[in-house]
Every structure is written in structure tokens, then in C-alpha cells.
Chains A and B, each alone.
Chain A
Amino acid sequence: MLLIHCPYCDATLPEAEFAYAGEAHISRPADPSALSDEEWRDYLFIRTNARGPHFERWRHIHGCGRFFNAVRDTVSDRFLMTYKAGEARPDLTVKEAAE
């Protein structure tokens, strides 16, 4: 049972309150009809499947209901950080340097 920090509630709470929602920073194209079949396929199905830090979305479904973003290390299953939806993808090298 992981503990997850909800950036909206600003509280660290048990995993059971949250639902996973797939990879983060994949925006729906503004005009899907302008995309080639290959581009649309990539949007639909192609994911990074990262070994290590993974940018992903979670929803505090049994709490505030908000979707937010997280960086989780898929090897250690450790959350490196969480941040609000819409915020820019954090630069992990900057974060590491600061620590």
C-alpha cells in the first residue's frame, strides 16, 4: 500500500483513495482529423513503458476527485513527486541537482 501525496488536498494518503490513469503529458491533439493514421496510432497506443522515472496520471477518486500528475520510479515503485494537472513536465535533472 503506497502513500501518495495529492497536490490539491496537500495531504499524503493511502493508495486505496487513488486510481491510476495512465501515462502523463500525452495531450489529445487539437485536430485529430489532421493526423495521419500513424500519428493517431501513436497517440492512442504508443507509451514509453519506462524503466525508472515514469510520468503518470493519478486521480484522487475517493477524495477531491482531481486528476494530477506524478513521477514514480517503476523499479523501486517510489513516488519522486506529484504535481497538478496542467503544470509543465518537471526536469528531473534539475530536481536531482537541487537535492
Chain B
Amino acid sequence: MSRYRIPGMGRVDPAAPVSFTFDGRSYQGLRGDTVASALLANGVHLMGRSFKYHRPRGVVTAGSEEPNALIGTSRGPGRFEPNTRATVQELRAGLTTESQNKWPSLKFDIGAVNDRAYMLFSAGFYYKTFMWPRSFWDKVYEPFIRAAAGLGKSPAEVDPDSYAHRNLHTDVLVVGGGAAGISAALTAAKSGARVVLVDENPEMGGSLLSDPSVRIDGRGSWAWLAEQLSQLRAAGVRLMTRTTAIGYYHQNFVGLVERVTDHLDQPPHGAPRERMWHVRAEQVVLAQGALEKPLVFDGNDRPGVMLAGAAQTYLNRYGVKVGDNAAVVTSHDSAWYAAFDLVDAGARVAAIADTRDSVRPDLVEAARKRGILVLTGHTATATEGRLRVKSVRVNPVRNGQVGAGRKIPCDALLICGGWTPSLHLFSHTKGSLTWDADSRTFLPDHKTEACQIAGAGRGLWGYGFVLEDGVKAGIAAAQALGRSADASDARVEGDRPGTGISQKELPTDRSPGKAKAFVDYQNDVTAKDIRLAVREGMRSIEHVKRYTTNGMATDQGKMSNINGLMIAADALGKEPPQVGLTTFRPPYTPTSFGAFAGYHKGATFEITRKTPIDPWAEAQGAVFEPVSLWRRAWYFPKAGEDMHAAVARECRATRASVGMFDASTLGKIEVAGPDAVEFMNRMYTNPWTKLQPGRCRYGLLLGEDGFIRDDGVIGRMSPDLFHVTTTTGGAARVLNMMEDYLQTEWPDLDVWLTSTTEQWATVAVNGPNARKVLEKLVEGLDLSDTNFPHMSVAECTVAGLPARLFRISFTGELGFEVNVPARHGLQLWKAIHEAGQQYDICPYGTETMHVLRAEKGYIIVGQDTDGTVTPQDAGLDWAIGKAKKDFVGKRSLSRPDIVAPNRKQLVGLLTEDGRKLEEGAQIVLDPSQSLPMTMAGHVTSSYDSVALGRPIAMAVVTGGLSRMGETVHIPMPDGTIRATITSTNFYDPAGERLKA
């Protein structure tokens, strides 16, 4: 048995020892321990170093609000986690843990020099210390700050664990499984409501687990608890332990994170590590209890100094005494009970110093009976002990005067500065708070959600009151659901009622300027820092918080916010409610990214859309690229080819003979109905009335602001049916836009819109021999140029499959696009590939498609346009139906900004030295101007062109269309490149090849 473990006490299993390591040393704890309780059982208080001053720190709390005892935990490769709270991590066999913020060792740390130089690190030191010289920023200050910043080490490997997401709907969600929560849940459940009760601890019970001496309904509190839990189960209540309510959102939507495997020696194969629950509840009961605050005085952070309630929990729940000879400094009755429990368990308590002048006589009597020295009206002014507290100095305070101090030796110092109702979830809902002047705490006031608040969470103290309040909350929740619930009352004996006060830093007889009286342990913020911030002009509590970082650590100020507020209010000479409280935000406790990500990682991060031809491309060794959610074949490398060589070969083959391309991802929309042509006239810039069935046309779609939104070739299949194609990434947007106009602006039009993107597989066949290949496969259609000229469309049979055949080209070559029902796509592809062997048909990918289209100056919406490009800017005036009275965006084309000169316009660029430009590179007109230069545009597309034997580029340039032949300059890190402005139609400008 460990030195500080008390046999027969606690809820740990003495027959089940568990081994673990801390900083390389082996320890033994018991099943049911946390890392913190097991270390304390072994007499280890020093668990870490503080963030800024690297001061030695021990555990302060026994719960999830712990600011100090943050450790790294590991259970094998990839399963390292920094900043695990030792007070939360349950012991499991083989657990490896380590302390943080120390070098070279926890007991001797170089960074602790910061502690001696604390004058340099006062509030706002970032803003003051690193001001000058300016040249020090990059080389000295920033590397120093970056190295010093951050808590713990980030894991270096990919997290191998999985995380689950689940939905849950319930009538009543009760948050907090203490006395109030249990009675609320049982009352509501008895009314017939579906109830879920959650608690972040491994077992339900809350503070009852730390108060076994209280008797309820004639039984010990633990026996009563067990009985209540079996009643809850019998009533069908879903009990969820190790489950934290992290956020409370609109309409009673609550996020829960359940820790599934971190406490298990051997997690079941495939079990998620954590599970996030999305809960929608008709009624929420918040029974989160209260959080204990420290007292603020010099040296209140030494290892061995901890909250009195934490010491009581370690004793009663884990059977661990935190020291042999404790002392207590408090301003609340609760710490007296902690002292009594310690003495009754065989430890010594040297003294209780209470800051209040008068304390309930029964407490004083009970203390004296146990041989504890009682000192009321006292302050604490110092502690001693480097790696563990050795003594506390206490002084009497009479009429505001601090008297002579006396030193009380101790190996543990229990402090209590009162209790703060846990308002976090309530604050997430923007519920308002009210200041209770008697208890000097904030309490919940106006609610914005359908919720009840019960117990210590609304400032009540003592089990009798809290149990009664839980029943009331349960009845209120049931009644809100239209159910009737019965009241019940519990008889409590040996209750522990209590009151106390909240206060600023304790008075001292020494220089307050030298006191290290910590308010926020995790961020090393002292009372002096807060007063300095006020002196330096911070008036709002929000400014004080940001300037000092008080409450900005991972515990979100659970222990420090109220103490910080008390001190700031005193410094400002205002009452605390006038200074205000900073806003609590989700999550309640630090939450792993994995829990948020859930299934959205790796292959299931997003869906991957694949065309019917994708398996063939994969079998051929194609390299893929993502295009919106699609994966598309990028290029098809042959053995020994890199991307450059493969793309050059594909381009050459297509222009010389014939290439084939999987264009199935193109968006496709059928616009059908008697008013289809009118609808098309209103949506697209082009005129559609005279387009005959069997013909197609390039369509340009603008926003109402006149900027290009999408484009694509549109075929008229019959007088009332259009086959619209869109860009791959724009399909859903275009359909949404069409639906919007059809439903809300022109509901009188008789038109139907149907997405057919995934109904058709599309194979583009391009090149001088394209017709020869297709002629072998096409039935029922004469493909000759006379009968089926450029921009024709027809229904026919291709390779025995029903097809819509377009004669169009995105390459400048003779081109066809064959659409067949998607289920036949692969068959069509193979048939064309087979038929094309005679002409060395070359499958090509998206990169070659890009090069070939750029050689012709065909734009890609979203690459050569960016949402600020008009048809005129892009050189697409010809696509505008000038005779049309109206279409979407037409009015904007005459707006002053749109017709203004010197808009950025799309042009071609040819570099003088033959270097390929970088896409995105900035363009200037005068390379000798002083910095910062005036940007005249940027490169939108740039490729090596095999057909032209040189690189080509497209760019938007200020007034570019009137600068043909002029020279512009592209400054790059290795020198400025000169380029000539040209037309974007680089290859076959007369378009002869299309007409072949």
C-alpha cells in the first residue's frame, strides 16, 4: 500500500493494483484512481512547471478544471496526447505519462530563471519588451516567443484512433449527475418522460462521492446513491458517464463528448476513442454544480497548496491523504468540513485560518474538539518550500490593519476562496446573469432556452436544499412537456450547509509589489498584473483579460475569472457587476480535434465522385487530380515518363491524329417545357430563339452584377428541350441559380429543370482523325461536315448504345462529344479506344485538356475569371445577344464601373526569353518604379505549348485589350521577366482545323 493511501477509504479497488510511469519512473496506483490521485498516494505533489515563470506546480483540483497538472500521456506510437489533465485521466495498465514545460528536468529547470526575472514578464510584456530594435524581430524575438509559447508538445504522428458521431433525441437532458441532477432526472423520468443523464466523471454522484458521512433517507450517501442509480435505470433513464457536455447551442442542441476507451487497459478492436453526441432535447436541466476558487496571496501556487474541496475528494473518493500535517486558509465554511474529514481519517490539521471575523460556532466547536487551532479574522501572507510547501505565514487582520505574522509548518495547504456556480453552459445560450451581493457571486438570471437550473449551479448549498431543488427542476421539466410529476422529499442528516464570501487578493503586511499572488495559475497571472493593467488604462474586463491573459488558458478561467474580476473591480473602484464578466464559450473543457472531426478524415473526409470510366484510368496507371469533389485523370504516364513528358506526348498525339478524354464530370442540366427557350433567353447572355433543334451554341451565364458565373455548350434537342452543360465545379451552383429565378422571379414560366450530370457519361474525341474513329461506331447519322457541321447535336447510336452526339471542340481540333447513359460509359470508352487503335488514339487527362484549350484561348471559369470579370473583360462580347431586351446581368453591363476604362482584361502573354511564367505571378507596367509597385494584373494560366514550341500564358492586365504588342514586366525573386501582350488565340487563329 502506498505511503499516503488510507486502507478502507475511497472508492478505489485495493485488490486491483495498476502500474504506470511518470517521467520514466514506475508507480503503482489502484483501479479507480486518476493519475493525480495515484501520484498523491505515492507522495508526489510536483507534477509540472508553470507556463511563463516555470515555477514548480502541483495539483490544485480534483476535476476537469485543473490548471496545473497537465501531463503528456501515451499508449504507444501515434497515441501521445499533450495537456491531459492528470485529475481526469484514469489509471490504466501500462499508461506512460510525463510532465511538461521543464528542461532539463522537472526538479531542476533552466526556464525557472524567468521566475527571478519576473519584472520583465509583467502584464503586457509582449507589447513592451519586444518593441525594438526592429531588426531583432525576425531573428531574435519571434523565434524566442515561438519556442517559449505553447503548452506541451504536439503529437508528431497521425492519430491512429477513430472518433464517432451520433445523434440523440430526448425529452429531458440532465447535465450533471450530482445530487440535484439525480433527483431532477428521477422526478422527470417518473412522469414518463425520456431522460438522459450525463456526467463527465467515471461515475455518477458528483460531490456525494466526496461526502460519504452525509446520510439521506436513513442511509449513508453512497448507499443512497447506489439505490437512486438503480431506480434511474429501472425508470429507463439513459446514464452516460465520462461524457462532457461541451456546448449548449440554439433550440436545446447540446454537444456531448463521451470518452470511450482512454480508461481501458485493452481497448476493444475498432472501438472509437471518443464519441460526439449531437443531442436535441425538449428540456435541458443544468445541474453542473459549483467550482471552488483559490484564495489569492503570495506563494499560493506551491506544490502541496490545493483547494480544500480537492483534498476532501482525494481523501474520500480515492482514499488518499494529501499530507500528514495540513493547514487550512479559507473564506467559506466548506473547507472546515474538509479539515474535519482529514482529522477523522488520521491526518493532522495544524490550523484553520479563516478570513472572516466570525464563523458559525458549531464549526469552531467541532474544530477545537479535533485539536485544530482556529484563527478567525486572519490573512495568509506567504508560503515557503521550493518543490513542496513547508509552511504558511498567517497574520491577524484587525480594523483593516495586518498584524504580526506567525509561521505554521505544514506539508499541505488547503485553500478555499468560496464557490462559483458553473455558469458556462448557461452562458453559451446567452442567458443573462445577475450579481448576488450577499454571496458575491454571479447567478443565472433570464433564460433564452427551454431549460431549468438546479442546485449549486444556481448558488444553493447543502444537500437538503439541493435535493429539493432537483425535484423542482424535474417537475418543471415534466410540466413543460405536458406531463405531471410528483414531488418527493429527502431527509438529510449530517448535512453540510455553508456560506462564504468572495474577495480580492488577501491583505498583506509586506510589499504587494513583490507578492507572487496567483490568480490564473495556468497563464501565470498575478494580482499585481491585473492592477497594473488597470493602471495602464484597461477599463473593460475584456481588455484586462486580453492584456494580462487572465482566464485565457485552457481552463477558460474556471478558477480565475471571479478572483480576477474582484481585483479589477477594486482597482477601478467599482462594484463587480459594473465591471462585468467575460463571456464563456464552448467547449466547456478542452476537446480533441478528433472528436470534432469524427468520420471526416482520410478517405471519408469528403465523398470522392468517380466517373464510370475511372476504373479504366486507374488500371492504366493514370495520375489523378481532385476537381471539386470529383477525382479526374490528370495525365496517363507511360513507363519512364514524368508529367511534362506525358502531357507533351498527349498534346502532340491529339493534334497530330486523335485523342480521347473522359468529360463525364461536366455538369449537365435538362431545361424542358413550353417556355424553355424563353427561360434560356432570360438566363444566358446569348440569344436562343433562332437556335434550331439539332444545333448547339456556347452559352455564357452572368450574375445580376454582370460578372461571369459559368459557361458551357448548350444543345437544343427539340423545340422545348435544351441539353445544358456547365463547368465541372459549377453544376450545383448553376442549377441552384436557375431554380431560384424559376421559382421566385418567373414562377409563371412552364419549365422543368433536371440535373443529369450523373445520368450521362461523356467521352470527348478530338483530333484530325476523330471523325474516322467515330464513323466506325456511329449508326443512324452521317458525320460528314456537310450533314453534321461544327456545333451540331443529334441523337444516334454509338457502339450500339443510345447516344447524344455533339460536334463541339474544346481543343481547336475537329471534335465530338459522345454522351451515353452512365451505365454504358465504360463500354463506350473501351469501344472508342478499340476503334481508335488504327489511328494510335491517345487517352489524355485534364492537364492536356488545359494546355489544348489555352492554345486556343478558351477560358476556364474560375481560373481565368475570378468573379470580377465581365464578358467584355474576357473578350466574349460576341456571346452577348445585343438585341435581347433583358437577361440576367444585362443591366449591369452598362454600370459606370463596368464601362470604365482600364479594367483588367484577359490577354495572351509571350515571354521574350522563352521562360514559362508562374500562374498567379503579378504584372507591372514599369519595372523601375519604386516599391511598393503598382500591380497591373496577374497571370491566370501558363503552360508549355508543344504545338507552338514555346510557353504561353493568359493574364488579366489593366486595359489589356488596347495594349496589344506592348511589353509588360513580371518581377520574380530571381529577376524580372519581360513579356509581350498578344491575342489569347495562339494556335490556328482562323479556326480552320475545327471545320475539317
Residue positions of A touching B, CB distance < 8 A:
1-3, 19, 21, 27-28, 31-33, 35, 37, 40-41, 44, 57, 59, 61, 65-67, 76-78, 85-86
- Any A CB within 8 A of the CB of B365: no
Establish whether residues A27 and B890, one from each chain, have CB atoms under 8 Å apart when the complex forms.
no
B881-910 Cβ-contact flags toward A at 8 Å (1 or 0) = 000011000111001100000000000000
Establish whether residues A35 and B744, one from each chain, have CB atoms under 8 Å apart when the complex forms.
no
Contacts of B890 in A (CB 8 A): 32-33
Among candidates A19, A31, A61, A66, residue contacting B886 with C-beta atoms closer than 8 Å: A31
CB within 8 Å for A40 and B278 given contacts A33-B885, A33-B886, A67-B743: no
Tell me the smallest distance from the CB of A24 to a CB of chain B, in Å.
Answer: 9
Establish whether residues B895 and A40, one from each chain, have CB atoms under 8 Å apart when the complex forms.
yes
Contacts of B278 in A (CB 8 A): 1
Tell me the smallest distance from the CB of B728 to a CB of chain A, in Å.
Answer: 20
A-B pairs under 8 A by CB, number: 54
Establish whether residues A37 and B745, one from each chain, have CB atoms under 8 Å apart when the complex forms.
no
What 7 pairs between A and B have smallest CB-CB spacing? Answer: A32-B891, A28-B745, A67-B743, A1-B253, A3-B251, A85-B744, A67-B744
Establish whether residues A37 and B736, one from each chain, have CB atoms under 8 Å apart when the complex forms.
no
- Any A CB within 8 A of the CB of B249: yes
Q: List 25 A-B contacts (CB under 8 A).
A: A1-B250, A1-B253, A1-B278, A2-B250, A3-B251, A3-B280, A19-B736, A21-B740, A27-B745, A28-B704, A28-B745, A32-B890, A33-B886, A35-B891, A40-B891, A40-B892, A41-B895, A44-B705, A66-B743, A77-B250, A78-B250, A85-B743, A85-B747, A86-B744, A86-B747
Across the two chains, which residue of chain A brings its CB closest to B682? A28
Tell me the smallest distance from the CB of A17 to a CB of chain B, in Å.
Answer: 14
20 additional A-B pairs beyond A67-B740, A77-B250, beta carbons within 8 Å, are A2-B250, A2-B251, A3-B280, A19-B736, A31-B886, A32-B886, A33-B890, A33-B891, A37-B896, A40-B891, A40-B892, A41-B895, A44-B704, A44-B705, A59-B736, A59-B739, A59-B740, A61-B736, A67-B743, A78-B250
Tell me the smallest distance from the CB of B740 to a CB of chain A, in Å.
Answer: 6
Contacts of B105 in A (CB 8 A): none
- Any A CB within 8 A of the CB of B448: yes
Establish whether residues A65 and B739, one from each chain, have CB atoms under 8 Å apart when the complex forms.
yes
Across the two chains, which residue of chain A brings its CB closest to B740? A67
Across the two chains, which residue of chain B brings its CB closest to A15? B250
Across the two chains, which residue of chain A brings its CB closest to B896? A37
Give bound CA distance, A80 to B896, whole Å: 40
Establish whether residues A1 and B249, one from each chain, have CB atoms under 8 Å apart when the complex forms.
yes
Give bound CA distance, A24 to B882, whole Å: 31
B274-294 Cβ-contact flags toward A at 8 Å (1 or 0) = 000010100000000000000
Give the dominant DSSP class at B's interface. mixed
Give bound CA distance, A19 to B280, whole Å: 21
Tell me the smallest distance from the CB of A7 to a CB of chain B, in Å.
Answer: 13
Contacts of B704 in A (CB 8 A): 28, 44
Residue positions of B touching A, CB distance < 8 A:
249-251, 253, 278, 280, 430, 448, 704-705, 736, 739-741, 743-745, 747, 885-886, 890-892, 895-896
Contacts of B896 in A (CB 8 A): 37
Contacts of B895 in A (CB 8 A): 37, 40-41
Contacts of B886 in A (CB 8 A): 31-33
Across the two chains, which residue of chain B brings its CB closest to A30? B886
Contacts of B885 in A (CB 8 A): 31, 33
Give bound CA distance, A21 to B740, whole Å: 9
Establish whether residues B745 and A76, one from each chain, have CB atoms under 8 Å apart when the complex forms.
no
Contacts of A3 in B (CB 8 A): 251, 280
Give bound CA distance, A85 to B743, whole Å: 8
Tell me the smallest distance from the CB of B952 to a CB of chain A, in Å.
Answer: 36
Tell me the smallest distance from the CB of B660 to a CB of chain A, in Å.
Answer: 35
Across the two chains, which residue of chain B brings its CB closest to A85? B744
Tell me the smallest distance from the CB of A4 to a CB of chain B, in Å.
Answer: 10
Q: Which of B448, B736, B747, B890 has the most CB of A within 10 A?
A: B736
Give bound CA distance, A35 to B745, whole Å: 18
Across the two chains, which residue of chain B brings its CB closest to A19? B736
Give bound CA distance, A32 to B892, whole Å: 9
Across the two chains, which residue of chain A brings its CB closest to B887? A32
Give bound CA distance, A40 to B704, whole Å: 10
Give bound CA distance, A22 to B419, whole Å: 47
Across the two chains, which residue of chain A brings its CB closest to B742? A67
Contacts of A33 in B (CB 8 A): 885-886, 890-891
Establish whether residues B705 and A67, one from each chain, have CB atoms under 8 Å apart when the complex forms.
no
Establish whether residues A44 and B892, one from each chain, have CB atoms under 8 Å apart when the complex forms.
yes
Tell me the smallest distance from the CB of B497 to a CB of chain A, in Å.
Answer: 38
Contacts of A41 in B (CB 8 A): 895
Across the two chains, which residue of chain B brings its CB closest to A57? B744
Across the two chains, which residue of chain B brings its CB closest to A2? B250
Give bound CA distance, A19 to B737, whole Å: 12
Across the two chains, which residue of chain B brings its CB closest to A43? B704
Give bound CA distance, A66 to B740, whole Å: 9
Give bound CA distance, A66 to B753, whole Å: 13
Contacts of A44 in B (CB 8 A): 704-705, 892
Among candidates B249, B448, B739, B891, residue contacting A67 with C-beta atoms closer than 8 Å: B739
Contacts of B744 in A (CB 8 A): 57, 67, 85-86
Give bound CA distance, A61 to B448, whole Å: 29
Contacts of B251 in A (CB 8 A): 1-3
Across the two chains, which residue of chain A brings its CB closest to B735? A65
Across the two chains, which residue of chain A brings its CB closest to B251? A3
Give bound CA distance, A67 to B739, whole Å: 8
Give bound CA distance, A33 to B883, whole Å: 13
Contacts of B253 in A (CB 8 A): 1
Give bound CA distance, A37 to B743, whole Å: 27
Contacts of A85 in B (CB 8 A): 743-744, 747
Give bound CA distance, A28 to B682, whole Å: 12
Tell me the smallest distance from the CB of B787 to a CB of chain A, in Å.
Answer: 40
Across the two chains, which residue of chain B brings its CB closest to A27? B745
Give bound CA distance, A77 to B280, whole Å: 17
Contacts of A37 in B (CB 8 A): 895-896
Give bound CA distance, A43 to B747, whole Å: 20
Contacts of A86 in B (CB 8 A): 744, 747
Give bound CA distance, A77 to B449, whole Å: 12
Contacts of A76 in B (CB 8 A): 430, 448
Contacts of A19 in B (CB 8 A): 736
Give bound CA distance, A40 to B736, whole Å: 23
Contacts of B250 in A (CB 8 A): 1-2, 77-78
Contacts of B739 in A (CB 8 A): 59, 65, 67
Across the two chains, which residue of chain A brings its CB closest to B741? A28
Tell me the smallest distance from the CB of B409 to a CB of chain A, in Å.
Answer: 57
